[in-house]
Each structure stands twice: as structure tokens, then as C-alpha cells.
Chains A and B, each alone.
Chain A
């Protein structure tokens, strides 16, 4: 079992729709959860982080965390073609270890 799992996609949504990206993780001790966006040939760019159960909203983005189910998601409202990218889920465990464990990423295509 992979430590962080994401559906590789591609996920295709029409412009203006809600895109829902999902991520599960295996380490129950994980404490912080990150969503990064990566355009082709570019470096990952942090979109949001979340560490408490529930929802966290930032503009068109909402991160949702359910530690009991070991599940974190990212919702993108009013999707735009410029949102087309690979979305990477990353998880940090408890303690002094600051490394991130990454999923493979989900490819999102927003169609005009």
C-alpha cells in the first residue's frame, strides 16, 4: 500500500464546474497536509495546507480533512482553464521529521 494515494486521472471538468480531488494516506500519525499544484515542466507550488479536521477555504479553493478516515480533499470552485495542472497531495508526519510524503498527483483538465 502506498503511503499517499491519489487517483492519477485525468480528471476532466467543464469551465465553471467544481473539481474534486481526493487523497488518502496510511500513517495515522500524520499531522499536516498540503496541496501543491504543478504545471508541466514547472516546480510544485503550494496552494493550501490543513491540519485540523474540517474544511479550510481560501478563495476558490477548499481543503477538507477527515483524520478518522485518513482522507484529505481539495475542491476547486468555478474551475478555470488556467487551473489545468497536476495536483499533488503531500503529508507530513508527527514529530521533528519535517519531510513530506507525496502522492503521484492527479491530472486536472478544465475544458473551456
Chain B
């Protein structure tokens, strides 16, 4: 079984540019999450998809961040325009469908390290 795949693994962009991160969850996992870890800080929740619907986007920092999950498969997270404080590691995670044992943890992707200069 393939794991959660994220692309790119690293991205260095200039302030003001646009970057799009992609996440392919484990096949059959309806739940998809985006998290971010800024250096020296805790991992922070960004948003949660159930299939193609946004279940919870309370962690999205501002309207420069746009997440989509068309068709309920892979997801993209676009940052436009990027600011210096957006630098960090963006993790995607997926889990089984709603109604499963909610105590299951997530399976994480390897993350995208974003550096805004």
C-alpha cells in the first residue's frame, strides 16, 4: 500500500510568489488533513477535508491560503502571495473514513519544506 505522498519535498520561493503544494492520500482514506510546523513551534492544524468537503478550516492563517480537494482524491494547498512567515514544513495526513474508530491516528506524508526568501 502506497503511503501519503507529498510534492514537492522542498520549495524555495521569493516573497510575493505563488506556491502550490500537493498531497496524495492513501487510497480509500476519506479524511485528509493539512498541518504546518514553523521552526521552533508546535505542529499546527490548518484544515480537514472529508472527501471533497472542507470539514474544518479553522486553522487556515488567512485568505492567502487556499486548499482544494477536487473529486475527493488528492489535495492542493496554494499560498498566494507567499510571505516570509509562511516558511515551514507543511505536512499532509490521511485517515480512514468517518465512523471508523476515531482513535486511529493519522498516516503522515513526508512533508514539504517551504522556504520563502
User: A-side interface residues toward B, CB under 8 Å?
Assistant: 2, 4, 32, 34, 36, 42-46, 49, 51, 88, 90, 92, 96-104
Contact call A42/B110, Cβ cutoff below 8 A: yes
User: B-side interface residues toward A, CB under 8 Å?
Assistant: 31, 33, 35, 41-45, 48, 55-56, 58-59, 91, 95, 102-111
Bound state CA distance, A12 and B114, in angstroms? Answer: 31
Question: Residue on B with the closest CB to A44?
Answer: B108
Q: Please, which residues of chain B bring their CB within 8 A of the CB of A34?
A: 105
Interface of chain A, helix or strand or loop or mixed? strand
CB distance from A110 to the nearest CB of B (A): 23
Q: Please, which residues of chain B bring their CB within 8 A of the CB of A98?
A: 31, 33, 48, 55-56, 95, 102
Contact call A36/B33, Cβ cutoff below 8 A: no
Which 8 A-B pairs have CB atoms at the shortest separation, nearest pair first?
A46-B105, A43-B108, A99-B45, A102-B43, A102-B42, A32-B103, A43-B110, A49-B103
